[in-house]
Amino acid sequence: RPPFPKYTRAEVACHRSEAERVWVTYGSDIFDITDFLELHPGGKGKILLAAGGALEPFWALYAVHGQPHVLEILHGYKVGELSPEEPPPPATGDPYAGDPPRHPALKVNSARPFNAEPPAELLSETFLTPNQLFFKRNHLPVPTVDPATYQLQVQGPDGRPLSLSLAELRSRFPRHEVTATLQCAGNRRSEMNAVRQVKGLEWGTAAIGTARWAGARLRDVLAHAGYAPDDGHNHVCFEGLDRDLSGTTYGASIPFRKAMNAEEDVLLAYEMNGEALPRDHGFPVRVVVPGVVGARNVKWLGRISVGPDESQSHWQQNDYKGFSPSVDWDTVDFTTAPAIQEMPVQSAITEPVPGATVPPGDLTVKGYAWSGGGRGIVRVDVSLDGGQTWHVATLAGEEQVPGRVWAWKLWQVTAPIPPGVTHLNILCKAVDASYNVQPDTVAPIWNLRGVLSNAWHRVTVTVER
Ligand code: HEM
Ligand code: MTE
Ligand code: MO
C-alpha cells in the first residue's frame, strides 16, 4: 500500500465533529473514527471528548484501553501520520499518580482505575475486614482532598445551600456507629463470565467486606438543612469529588424515605474500623447505606441534593441494573429495570480454596453469608458431595437488631470426608430472615453486566491419599 499521507496537528484539529469527520491521534498515527462513534462501548459522548486531538490523556484515565484488542480496533481506522516535524503531544502526567499505596496481598483486577480484592481465605479470618484488605472499587482516580478546607454541600429545601466543614460534621451531629457489610454488585462476576461473556471487571468472591463505620446520620444532616421525613421528596442524590475529564462526577441516589428513617442507619461516615476513612474508601466522608449495593455508598462525598428524581448519573441510570438472561447489548433498554438497591442473599466458601489438596479425615469449610435490606442470615447449608447431603454450618458474628442486620455472618462447618473419595465438590447456600434462598446455578440468573451473581458457591478440591 502507498505510504500514509502526512498531516499537522492543526489539520487533525479541524476534524472535531461528524460533519467534518472525527479524527484523533495516537502516537504519531492519525485515525478517522467517525464510523466507530456509535459502536464505542464507553459511549459516543466520551469518545467525542478526544475529537481532533490526542487519545493519550483520555486513555491514561480509562486504562481499559491498554489492551491489544482495543489497539487493533483503532488501527482499522488509520488514515494518516503526523508530519515528522510535529511536536509530541504535551505531557499529560499520570492522572493516577496521586493514588494511595496499597497492600501487596490484594489481587488487582484493574490498576487504573484501582479495583482489587483480598484473597478470599483472608476474608474469613476476621469478622471486621482490615481496612488495608477491604476490597477497593474506584471508577476514577482517587481525589486528593484537604480535610482543612473540605466542605460538604447540602442543597436545602428552598434551594439555599448549606455547607459543612469536616469539623462541623464531627461536632454538630451525634456520632453514630454501625457495623455494616458492603458488597459490590459485581461480586462473583467471574462465575457468570464462565457461563457466558459479560461486560465488567473480573471479580472473584471477595468484592465484599465488613467494617465498623462511624459518622453523622444522614437524616440528622438533612434535618439540619431543613428537611422533614414527610416532605414528600422521593430521592436523595450524592455526588463524589472524583471526576472524569469532562468534569462529570461519580453519582448515585437512594430513596428519601430510607435516608430519613432512623432505623435504616444511613451514615455520612468519617471513620472506618476506628481510623479516619482511608483515601481509597472515600476520605474524608462517604455515604454508608447499610443493606444496599456498594454503588450507592458514594465515596469522597461532595454534594447532597434532594428531589423528585433519581440521580441522573450513568451509574444510577445505565449501569447496576439486572436483566433477563435473554437480554443482550443490542436489545438492552436500561429504562426498563430499576436501579439495584437492596442486595439478594449471598454466601461463598473462603476455605478451602478451589483446587486445594486436603488431608483425609475431617474437613473444615469456612465462608461468609450476607443478605441485603437488613435481612439477617438464619442458616447456611454446606455439602461435601455436590448437594446430596448437607451439613448446617455454625454462624458467628455480631448480634444485631432483627430487620437491621447489616453485617455478614462468618460460618464454618467440620465434617468427615467419606472414605475412599478422591475429589470433593463442596457447595454452600444461605437462607435469610425472609427465607430467601440462593439459586442453585448461574445460567438462569446470568445477565449481560454480570451483576447479582449469587448462585450456590462451588469449590472442588482433591483429597490426599
Ligand atoms: C471502553 C475503544 C476512546 C472512554 C472501551 C472499549 C473499547 C473502546 C473497545 C471496551 C473495552 C473492554 O471492555 O474490553 C475505544 C476506541 C477509542 C476510544 C477505539 C478511540 C478511537 C475513548 C475516549 C474515552 C473513552 C476518548 C473517554 C474520554 C471509555 C470508557 C469505557 C470505554 C469510560 C468503559 C465503558 C464501560 O466499561 O462501561 N473503549 N475507546 N474511550 N471507553 Fe473507549
Ligand atoms: N463513590 C465514588 N465517589 N466513586 C466510585 O468509584 N464506587 C462505588 C462506591 N462508591 C465509587 C463510589 C462502588 S461500585 C462500590 S462497590 C463501592 O463504592 C466500593 O467501596 P470501597 O472501595 O470502599 O470498597
Ligand atoms: Mo460496585
Per residue in 50-83, pLDDT (tens digit) is 999 999 888 887 778 878 899 999 999 999 999 9
Q: How far is the CA of 270 from the centre of ligand 2 (A)?
A: 15
DSSP string, 63-117: GGG-SHHHHHHHHTTEEEEE-TTSPPPPP---TTTTPPP--TTSEEEETTTTEEE
What is the pLDDT at residue 209? 98
Kindly report the protein residue whose alpha carbon is nearest to atom 4 of ligand 1: 42
What is the pLDDT at residue 101? 95
- Ligand 1 pocket test: pick from 18, 29, 32, 64 the residue with the most ligand atoms within 8 Å of its Cβ: 64
Q: What is the mean pLDDT of residues 203-208?
A: 98
Q: How far is the CA of 432 from the centre of ligand 2 (A)?
A: 25
What is the pLDDT at residue 60? 80
Q: Ligand 3 being an ion, which residues bring their Cβ within 5 A of it?
A: 137, 184, 294-295
What is the side-by-side order of every strand in the sheet holding 115-117?
Answer: 107-110, 115-117, 136-137
Confidence of residue 88 (pLDDT cuts 50, 70, 90): confident
Confidence of residue 245 (pLDDT cuts 50, 70, 90): confident
**Ligand 1 proximity of 37 Cβ (cutoff 6 Å):** no
Active site residues: 40, 65, 137, 184, 320
- DSSP H or E stretch at residue 209: strand 208-217
**Ligand 1 proximity of 73 Cβ (cutoff 6 Å):** yes
Give 27-55 pLDDT, tens digit per residue: 999 999 999 999 998 888 889 989 999 99
> Which phi and psi angles does 80 have, rounded to 5°?
-175, -175
What is the pLDDT at residue 143? 96
Give 386-420 pLDDT, tens digit per residue: 999 999 999 999 999 999 999 999 999 999 999 99
ipTM score of the complex? Answer: 0.84
Give 352-368 pLDDT, tens digit per residue: 999 999 999 999 999 99
Confidence of residue 87 (pLDDT cuts 50, 70, 90): confident
Q: What is the mean pLDDT of residues 297-318?
A: 97
Confidence of residue 456 (pLDDT cuts 50, 70, 90): very high
Half-sphere exposure of 247 (CA within 13 A, CB side): 0
What is the pLDDT at residue 283? 98
**Ligand 1 proximity of 139 Cβ (cutoff 6 Å):** no
Provide the 10 A C-beta neighbour count for residue 195: 17
What is the pLDDT at residue 37? 96
Average pLDDT, the chain: 95
What is the pLDDT at residue 203? 96
What is the pLDDT at residue 66? 79
Q: Is the dihedral of CA 347, 350, 351, 352 positive or negative?
A: positive
pLDDT over 70 percentage in the chain? 99
Kindly report the protein residue whose alpha carbon is nearest to atom 34 of ligand 1: 42
Pocket, ligand 2, Cβ cutoff 6 A: 134-139, 182, 184, 240, 242, 250, 280-281, 294-295, 297-300
What is the pLDDT at residue 94? 83
Contact 190, 157 (CB under 8 A): no
pLDDT over 90 percentage in the chain? 89
Q: How far is the CA of 167 from the centre of ligand 1 (A)?
A: 40
DSSP string, 388-442: SS-EEPEEES----TT---S-EEEEEEEEPPTT--EEEEEEEEEETT--B--S-S
Give 118-169 pLDDT, tens digit per residue: 999 999 999 999 999 999 999 999 999 999 999 999 999 998 899 999 999 9
Kindly report the protein residue whose alpha carbon is nearest to atom 1 of ligand 1: 42
Q: Is the pLDDT of residue 310 over 80?
A: yes
Provide the pairing of β-strand 78-82 with 6-7: parallel
What is the pLDDT at residue 62? 79
Ligand nearest to the CA of 186: 3
Q: How far is the CA of 293 from the centre of ligand 2 (A)?
A: 10
Ligand nearest to the CA of 242: 2
CATH numbers and ranges of domains, the chain? 6-82 (3.10.120.10), 107-336 (3.90.420.10), 346-463 (2.60.40.650)
Q: How far is the CA of 201 from the centre of ligand 1 (A)?
A: 14
Kindly report the protein residue whose alpha carbon is nearest to atom 14 of ligand 2: 295
Q: What is the mean pLDDT of residues 275-304?
A: 98
Q: Is the pLDDT of residue 1 over 80?
A: no
Q: How far is the CA of 247 from the centre of ligand 1 (A)?
A: 17
Ligand nearest to the CA of 136: 2
